[in-house]
Structure 1
């Protein structure tokens, strides 16, 4: 662990774990978005309406918000090896069910369930955090996130060609099933080859499972407050499917979901009290404390980085088509540059964080993101297309490098809760996507970009309250002794 070099051509030790895990994430994203490039074929085969297609897109992200919270708890308790293997294994069979669907109802149910695979990202954050020291964790997490996130782009690039290779009107079914087969095989490979920690290291687990631990009375209420936006985002998704919008849910079902979300929040609050009620009776020892504001700031930062990425990737092809009067194929190719930046930008953000400081790097990258979106808000048909694409890719660099900088800090907050911290931050990314896409449905593209820029400026102010991880954090060994872990 003393070696400060990351030799990506190696396939041993921590580098092997990195390669095994980013590819697991790559497959989870490929399965999660394997329907997107084939929607036209799916629509034609099953005779779907435009509203039903929109509903599938919404359902695909709906479950990911609570899934990332749940997966975060599971990975902290059972370890990333078994949780990632099981997630890939189960998802492959849901993928097969989607490929075999012969009605919209089956498509909708299986697409909703496949939203769970989008939580795979959280698992690898804990795994990489276990294997790499603080001085390398930013770059390693950036490579994991950036290369794995490319799975959605790989699906867009390869699956239409694969469907044509299989041939026929239902070639899409075989293309989607192929991603399920690969994922099923890899779930077994990952289980056999991956290990939770380096040999001789301890895998620290939360004392209790059901909610995140906090260490002060103020943080208890802060945690309850930060849970609200996740339920609000699910309520917005329900509203989109309700009779007031797409009309895919009846009024009775819609109100039932709203009531269920309120009940779930009440239940989660009871779990937060069960896990943390003791802090109102006696204070937590100083050595075991951490500041929940660290988690909250990272949540908001990921909301504005990954949330805006998901939203912009969804609208950018149409924006280029309408602004420059291009064909859908031309617009899609030009817009793809935003997603392609992940391969380089996210690892770069992590590297900057390792080399130049966590808080400073995040400040610069969020600031650049804000400027980038202000520039995009000024794009008109008068711009040269090359300049518009260049501005888009420059903005994308700051967005995705910012994502890398966020998750360069996540493993340094509290080791035994890394999965839960990653899960909450990841869920906020999806909250951001829902928020920004909802705004987009009401305003012009220019105003949409300005709203994201404004959110980035607010986030930039919040980042100034972030504490730079430094020194050591304490974790309790199974035998009750305390181990100090370097975070700087």
Structure 2
């Protein structure tokens, strides 16, 4: 449990810092005179670095363990965040957010940590809990960063100095915890990573069964047979070998490897359609509410001025005067828009865990096909609610729809990573790295589409996301996990 709590909290503070700049973007935009597209490009930059980091971090976890990898990511990612106040233009903002994006890679050691620690029957719930509580930082940052910003202003700084000082605080916290976890947690149940026990029976390369408790396949009969053999009972050979062959351990291994690639690719795509949607929305949701809900007959870059008749001292007309604040037409302020956007991320408190628990529940009754069934149910509902959100024209209905699609997107994340530990038991870090990178690849695509729609029709962006999610969800029908597909639920 110490590893469990360390993994989610490290991911939580990393996620909070990763998106720490986003709530303050309206003030930064005002100071630097940035356009909407320049801000959108910086959002793409904050995600693109994470894509590469997640691919490389998975194998590093396999080799060095999650604790040291997590520590390194926290410390390295804190450095550019601490110096983000030095930026002077849009290019500087892009570079800083690109470097801070390193923190997004902390998701892989977080998931790897619990995958190496918990039993196959509850690993879905464990992965979903740590992932969800870590992602909670995406909502928490929209509360804490404006609060820090206002606190620094109260202490005497102007708004353009306040946002710079506010960003130093999470950077200091990252460095402190990056050092602390090296002495306060374990990599696996055996303690240090060098003492870990690996499964000896690999479903893709093993030539013969090895009789010890392993996670070759998620089948209670096989596990029972393995345990019985360990206890010295010899009449389990036939049963174990039969199950071993049925599940493809050592047989048709070439096709198994081909389908392994297909399955990882599909899961990476689908993770881009849930977690990719989440982190893309984290970079735009507060801005969407600012841009979408504006005063009537108001032009951006101007503000209302009441014209007064000096002779009668009466207000006679309202005119528009130039303003340096590009958000003067919005019904909402920076703080109120951030507060609404925080609801999207705060759903992670329980939503991602619900996805993992739902997957574990269906696995209990339907084995592996149950996990695939959970995946297709969650993603279908997510796609539908994204389309509904895109049609909302009032702030209250938009908030309700946002909470609903947030809940379902995060449940889809939990159901996706509930499948990951079963793909290749001895290479969980590698698989988790590629699937996790799929989330960031998806987010880059979604943010690029946002870049082209932000000046014309932001609502259409959510409509397209919903359509993409529904289409990508169909791929669940073709993938095998341990030689089982979703339609095997009807064979029980």
User: Is 2:18 the partner of 1:32?
Assistant: yes
Matches within 5 A, 1:405-484: 405-440=415-450, 441-442=452-453, 444-468=457-481
- Residue number in structure 2 paired with 1:342: 348
Q: Give the match for residue 278 of structure 1.
A: none
Q: Cα–Cα, structure 1 residues 40 and 431, in superposed 2: closer, same or farther, change >3 Å?
A: same
- Distance apart, 1:364 and its partner CA: 0.6
Offset of 1:453 from its aligned partner?
2.4
Q: CA deviation at 1:130?
A: 0.6
Residue of 374, 396, 405 corresponding to 1:395: 405
Q: In terms of mean alpha carbon deviation, does 40-49 or 146-155 score higher? A: 40-49
Alpha carbons of structure 1 residues 313 and 24: separation in structure 2 relative to 1, 3 Å: closer
Q: Flag the 1:98–1:362 CA change in 2: closer, same or farther, 3 A.
A: same
> Is structure 2 residue 153 aligned with structure 1 residue 153?
no
Q: Does the C-alpha gap of structure 1 residues 23 and 458 become closer, same or farther in structure 2, counting only changes over 3 Å?
A: same
Quickly say closer, same or farther: Cα 1:132–1:435, change in 2 above 3 A: same
Structure 1 residues 436 and 81, CA gap change in structure 2 (3 angstroms):
same
> 5 Å matches for 1:306-345?
306-321=275-290, 323-325=292-294, 326-328=331-333, 329-345=335-351
* C-alpha distance 339-63 of structure 1, shift in aligned 2 (>3 A): same
Distance between the aligned counterparts of 1:435 and 1:156, measured in 2? 23
Q: Deviations over 1:346-368 (max 9, x none)?
A: 00001101111311110110111
Q: 1:297 aligns with which of 262, 266, 269?
A: 266
Separation of aligned partners in 2, 1:81 and 1:62? 24
Residue 378 of structure 1 deviates from its aligned partner by 2.9
How far does residue 333 in structure 1 lie from its aligned partner after superposition? Answer: 3.2
Answer whether contact 2:143 2:342 (CA < 8 A) is retained: no
Is 1:286 the equivalent of 2:299?
no
Deviation of residue 214 (structure 1)? 8.3
Residues 1:375 and 2:388 are matched in the alignment: yes
Is it true that 1:358 corresponds to 2:371 in the alignment?
Answer: yes
Map 1:80-229 onto structure 2 (within 5 A).
Answer: 80-100=66-86, 107-167=93-153, 168-169=157-158, 170-199=161-190, 202=196, 204=198
Q: CA deviation at 1:47?
A: 6.4
Alignment partner, residue 71 of structure 1: 57
* Cα distance change, pair 152–337 in 1 and its aligned pair in 2 (3 A): closer
Distance 1:36 1:97, change over 3 A: same
Consecutive unaligned residues of structure 2, counting only runs of 5 or more, are 206-248, 295-330, 363-369, 485-492
User: Structure 1 pair 439/38, CA: closer, same or farther in 2 (3 Å)?
Assistant: closer
Distance 1:285 1:29, change over 3 A: same
TM-score, length basis structure 1: 0.70
Q: Contact 1:142/1:404 (CA < 8 Å) preserved in 2?
A: yes
Computed over aligned residues only, the root mean square deviation of the Cα atoms, in angstroms, reads 3.1
Q: Does the C-alpha gap of structure 1 residues 214 and 311 become closer, same or farther in structure 2, counting only changes over 3 Å?
A: farther
Match of 1:86, SS? helix
Map of 1:225-240 to 2, 5 A cutoff?
A: none
Q: Using a 3 Å threshold, how does the CA distance of structure 1 residues 128 and 88 change in structure 2: closer, same or farther?
A: same
Separation in structure 2 between the aligned mates of residue 184 and residue 162 of structure 1, nearest angstrom: 19
CA–CA distance in 2 between the matches of 1:50 and 1:353? 40
Q: Is the 8 A contact 1:303 1:428 kept in 2?
A: yes
* Number of the residue aligned with 1:265: none
| Alpha-carbon spacing, 1:104–1:293, altered in 2? closer, same or farther (3 Å) | closer
Change (3 A) 1:96 1:313: closer
Q: Highest CA radius of gyration, 1 or 2?
A: 2
Give the conservation status (yes or no) of the 8 Å contact 1:76–1:205: no
Rate the CA distance shift 1:156–1:345 in 2: closer, same or farther, 3 A: same
1:358–1:468 Cα contact (<8 Å) kept: no
Provide the TM-score with structure 2 as the length reference.
0.70
Task: Please list every run of 5 or more consecutive structure 1 residues that lacks an aligned counterpart in the other structure.
Answer: 1-14, 207-212, 216-283, 472-488
Alignment correspondent of 2:224: none
Deviation digits for residues 196-239 of structure 1 (CA, Å, limit 9, x no counterpart): 21028735499xxxxxx987xxxxxxxxxxxxxxxxxxxxxxxx
